[in-house]
Homo-oligomer: A and B are copies of this chain.
Amino acid sequence: MSKFLPKSVQKLIEEFAKLPGIGPKSAQRLAIHLLHSPDSRVKDLGEAVSGLKKGILFCEECWNIAEKSPCGICSDPGRNKGIICVVEEILDVVALEKTGEFNGIYHVLHGALSPIDAIGPDDLKLAELFKRIKNRPDVTEIILATNPSLEGEATALYIQKYLQNFSGKMTRIARGLPVGGDLDYADEVTLGRALKGRGEF
């Protein structure tokens, strides 16, 4: 890549450039930035990377990342174990927790169905979800909070079909206009959904 730089710098540029959204130029800038940073900053980052997976595991109930299994959310007696919110990714849990609007528990699928990327049901934590629902007759609601994308909708549909004999409620997260958004700038599909999903005042 940059054969005019010392080996250790080249190496870091190569590693940075492997990260998503970081091109060769940004990788160079980051490496040079670190080179000019105090040793303690570089040490902190190095240790944070190396220590990332230390003590990290997947909760064997909800498949979120955690420091213990079951995780803090699954073992919290204050949370309603009767409502399971199904999401695609770990960061979706973070986003939902930040709203402070949800007091149930989660199930992280680790992806969405996508034939084009060869991601089928076996690549996701779907079997685990179905087993979990089967073993837990106290579950009264399943919220399908996969992304409102082609893959997310397909995944939600798949779960809904598979669990059609589920006795509780099965809901889909509302699709509509983002708060603070502009009706006039919304795409037709979103606007159509917002209209269809309209609720009483």
Contact = CB atoms under 8 A, between A and B. Distances in A.
Contact of A34 (B4, B52, B89, B98): B52
A45 interface: yes
Identical subunits present: 2
Interface centre among A19, A28, A51, A93 (most CB of B within 10 A): A19
A56 B5 CA distance: 10
A44 interface: yes
Given A34-B52, A49-B45, A53-B42, A93 B20 contact: no
Interface centre among A35, A49, A55 (most CB of B within 10 A): A49
Interface of A: 2, 4-9, 11-12, 14-16, 18-21, 25-26, 28-35, 39, 41-56, 65-67, 89-91, 93-94, 97-98, 185
B94 A28 contact: yes
Contacts of A28: 91, 94
A44 to B, nearest CB: 6
Nearest to A49: B46
Given A15-B45, A19-B33, A51 B8 contact: yes
